[in-house]
A and B are shown apart, each in its own frame.
Chain A
Amino acid sequence: MTLTADDVKKIAHLARLGINQQDVTSYTQDLSGMLALMTQMGATNTDNVLPMAHPMDQTQRLRVDEVTESDNRANFQVIAPQVEDGLYLVPKVIE
């Protein structure tokens, strides 16, 4: 499996990840190389194997639906790039 430069630009768009035009070629090569490595998996039959998502096959632990945290908004917003009246500011989305 080999990717094209357009594939890489499409993936970068999906990831909302800016990549420099001059790096597209090297990413295309690197990703194609990684995919070539992954084709090795194809030779092994995994038809009746269950996918393994967690080393202990543990399921997510749930907790009682109670408020346990105090309000830390002001504290967390100290490190935000731009805030106003407790809101995170971004460029205008709706005119």
Chain B
Amino acid sequence: MHTKSIKDLAQGMRAGEFSSVELTQAFLARIKQHQPLNCFVTVTEDLALQAAKQADARIATGDASLLAGIPIAQKDIFCTQGVKTSCGSKMLDNFIAPYNATVVEKLNAAGAVMLGKLNMDEFAMGSSNETSYYGAVKNPWHTDCVPGGSSGGSAAAVSARLVVCATGTDTGGSIRQPAAHCGITGLKPTYGRVSRYGMIAYASSLDQGGPMARSAEDCAILMQAMAGFDAKDSTSVDLPVPDYRADLNAELKGLTIGLPKEFFGDGLSGNVAAVIEQAIKEYQKLGATVKEVSMPNLKLAIPAYYVIAPAECSANLSRFDGVRFGYRCENPQDLADLYTRSRGEAFGKEVKRRILMGTYALSAGYYDAYYIKAQKIRRLISEDFKKTLTEVDVIMGPVTPTTAFGIGEKMANPIEMYLSDIYTIAINLAGLPAMSIPAGFAEGKPVGLQVIGNYFKEDRLLNIAHKYQQVTDWHQRSPKGFE
């Protein structure tokens, strides 16, 4: 059952081949069996079985969505009422969320069965899932390697078939990069498309939640339930949500693909480049034409991001002060000691690094030189994309410069870790939607193809990914031991 698509599982439940309770039990057993991957922070077995019973009743009435009864899991950044919501941090190890994130509400309303909360880099700050207070997640394809991050638990769990699909969030590549490293499909929607309400904030002008699943079609089904305007999120965009499955099979004849030369330069490993080139050839066979494009400001994406994201993070994380919720230090001497020690004892090193960087960039005398400068660069990058997307329909390239690296390999050098996000970060600065699609293997590890589209054209991206998945089977491969 664990290798079937959402559509097939939904049909199986309707045909009486198995119930949601049976499906849920089967996936819960897999989660237990593969506990060493460390994908989950919390498994909500009792709640899941209750939800599965309700889903079975709903399916029996004939009035249920495709997601009804489907076992999923939430990245532990989404608040879940009554269930621990840790955000991968000691700071929130004791935090039982008092309300649900909008994404959680929507997926619950669709009848999806939540099996638990997924491991992640602390406060979504990391590219390897190694900054989690709960320890590193292992890549199911190569258990000595990282699954990517920050949605590493989500990607590894979908890849190992511990859940059918999962939620993720993407601030600088945190859906696409782990999807690429784990050989699954992930969609980072346009900024404002999916509600951020109840999604613990890292960098508010960049954060966006999205679906992670085996195939583009499964992503489309999950995205349908996640997307939409939310009055509770002041940056939510009030536009109608299209039917993401309606045009999945639309022909790609005439599609123009832009290949930015900046995506294929030094730093891209040769065997990743070969996989990407092969994938693009496949698109040409499907009727697409390619065109080389140039976005000269892309090279400034990393410096601009590492000003803007830490600046926003230093402001957002000031709420964790040991007063209203979360960790509080023992025997504070005075109020300053309470703040300083609670934060000092509960935040990990990467989070502290970014709070320090952001505080510095926003401090008197440096604000214009760093923060305003970075925001200006952000506009230049965004203009590069807008201009390019008037010349081509979509932009394609690699998601990552290399395949998944070894656990512990980059932890000693944070800058080197930051540079591994070179192809994903600019998209968040521009606020555009982008996907990672399994495109093959290098050194036995998965490689992801990145497809970047215009604002709110998630339906087109899903169509482009789906057509590729009709002629390739990379997305259907399972890691050894998890078949």
Nearest B residue to A92, CB-CB: B334
A91, B205: Cα distance in complex, Å: 35
Residues of chain B lying within 8 A (CB to CB) of residue A18: 340-341, 343-345
24 contacting pairs across A/B (C-beta < 8 A):
A11-B359, A16-B343, A17-B356, A17-B359, A27-B352, A31-B353, A37-B302, A37-B303, A37-B418, A38-B303, A40-B300, A44-B380, A46-B377, A49-B376, A51-B372, A51-B376, A53-B375, A55-B192, A61-B234, A72-B98, A81-B325, A88-B323, A91-B333, A91-B334
**Interface assignment of B37: CB less than 8 Å from any CB of chain A:** no
A52 contact from B333, B360, B376, Cβ within 8 A: B376
Residues of chain B lying within 8 A (CB to CB) of residue A41: 300, 303-304, 307, 373-374, 377
B338 contact from A31, A56, A61, A91, Cβ within 8 A: A91
**B residues 343-402 touching A (CB-CB < 8 Å):** 343-345, 347, 349, 352-353, 355-357, 359-360, 363, 370, 372-380, 382
Residues of chain A lying within 8 A (CB to CB) of residue B191: 55-56
Q: How large is the interface on A (under 10, 10 to 19, 20 to 34, 35 or more residues)?
A: 35 or more
A14, B314: Cα distance in complex, Å: 11
A63, B190: Cα distance in complex, Å: 23
Nearest B residue to A88, CB-CB: B323
Is A52 a contact partner of B378 (Cβ separation < 8 A)?
yes
- Mask: chain A, 2-34; 1 = CB below 8 Å from B; 0 = not: 010001100110111111100100010011011
Distance in Å: Cβ of A30 to nearest Cβ of chain B = 6
Query: A14-B363, A38-B307, A91-B338 are known contacts. Are A51 and B379 too (CB-CB below 8 A)?
Result: yes
Distance in Å: Cβ of B247 to nearest Cβ of chain A = 24
Is B328 a contact partner of A81 (Cβ separation < 8 A)?
yes
Residues of chain A lying within 8 A (CB to CB) of residue B15: none
A56, B236: Cα distance in complex, Å: 11
Is A60 a contact partner of B349 (Cβ separation < 8 A)?
no
Is A52 a contact partner of B379 (Cβ separation < 8 A)?
yes
A44, B374: Cα distance in complex, Å: 11
Is A81 a contact partner of B352 (Cβ separation < 8 A)?
no
Residues of chain A lying within 8 A (CB to CB) of residue B372: 51
**Interface assignment of B246: CB less than 8 Å from any CB of chain A:** no
Nearest B residue to A58, CB-CB: B235
Of B192, B352, B455, the most chain A CB neighbours within 10 A belong to B352
**Interface assignment of B336: CB less than 8 Å from any CB of chain A:** yes
Distance in Å: Cβ of A78 to nearest Cβ of chain B = 7
Residues of chain B lying within 8 A (CB to CB) of residue A67: none
Residues of chain A lying within 8 A (CB to CB) of residue B254: none
Is B306 a contact partner of A12 (Cβ separation < 8 A)?
no
A93, B322: Cα distance in complex, Å: 15
Nearest A residue to B340, CB-CB: A18
B299 contact from A19, A31, A40, A50, Cβ within 8 A: A40
Is A53 a contact partner of B205 (Cβ separation < 8 A)?
yes
**Interface assignment of B414: CB less than 8 Å from any CB of chain A:** yes
Residues of chain B lying within 8 A (CB to CB) of residue A23: 349
Query: A63-B231, A79-B325 are known contacts. Are A46 and B376 too (CB-CB below 8 A)?
Result: yes
Distance in Å: Cβ of B75 to nearest Cβ of chain A = 20
Is A56 a contact partner of B237 (Cβ separation < 8 A)?
yes
**Interface assignment of B471: CB less than 8 Å from any CB of chain A:** no
A3, B363: Cα distance in complex, Å: 14
**B residues 144-172 touching A (CB-CB < 8 Å):** none
A44, B378: Cα distance in complex, Å: 12
Is B375 a contact partner of A93 (Cβ separation < 8 A)?
no
